[in-house]
């Protein structure tokens, strides 16, 4: 499969979105370890539901191959699409 600068750029953008979702979710989940008063328990539940939404939705929608749109699963450090084989990183000397 040949190198395509647009696929590499789109993959990088998607990985940034995924990383941002992970950071936001980690922050929200860390709030759940604070000693919350009983009357704020429902707020905590809302925060945790929000954490799930902001993580799961981007992962399912965004975390796909820019070319064949196959879900990439746990291939966060993939260098190529496991389905169609398109490279996600620029070959040496052709960095963007
Ligand atoms: Zn693919």
What was the pLDDT predicted at 44? Answer: 80
- The token duo for 12 is 């990088």
* Distance (Å) from CA 69 to ligand 1 centroid: 6
* Distance (Å) from CA 23 to ligand 1 centroid: 26
C-alpha 32/C-alpha 45 separation (Å) is 9
Nearest to 1 by CA among 72, 77, 89: 89
> Could you report the per-residue pLDDT of 59-81, keeping only the tens digit for each?
888 899 999 999 998 766 788 99
| Ion ligand 1 residues within 5 Å by Cβ | 65, 67-68, 81, 83-84
What was the pLDDT predicted at 96? Answer: 58
Mean pLDDT of 24-50: 80
* Distance (Å) from CA 59 to ligand 1 centroid: 16
What was the pLDDT predicted at 69? Answer: 94
* Distance (Å) from CA 64 to ligand 1 centroid: 8
C-alpha 42/C-alpha 55 separation (Å) is 20
pTM here is: 0.74
With both helix axes pointing from N to C terminus, report the angle between 5-31 and 41-62 in degrees, rounded to the nearest 10: 170
> Could you report the per-residue pLDDT of 45-63, keeping only the tens digit for each?
888 888 788 788 878 888 9
**Long-range contacts (CB closer than 8 Å, 24 or more residues apart) made by 73-81:** 76/15, 76/18, 80/1, 81/1
Mean pLDDT, rounded, of the chain: 85
């Amino acid at each position: 499969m040949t190198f395509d600068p647009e696929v590499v750029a789109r993959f990088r953008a998607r990985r940034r979105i995924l990383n941002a979702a992970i950071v936001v979710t980690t922050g929200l989940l860390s709030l759940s370890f604070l000693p919350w008063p009983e009357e704020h328990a429902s707020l905590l539940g809302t925060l945790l539901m929000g954490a799930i939404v902001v993580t799961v939705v981007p992962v399912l929608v965004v975390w796909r191959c820019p070319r064949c749109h196959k879900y990439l699963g746990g291939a966060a450090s993939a260098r190529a699409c496991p389905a169609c084989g398109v490279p996600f990183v620029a070959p040496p000397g052709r960095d963007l």
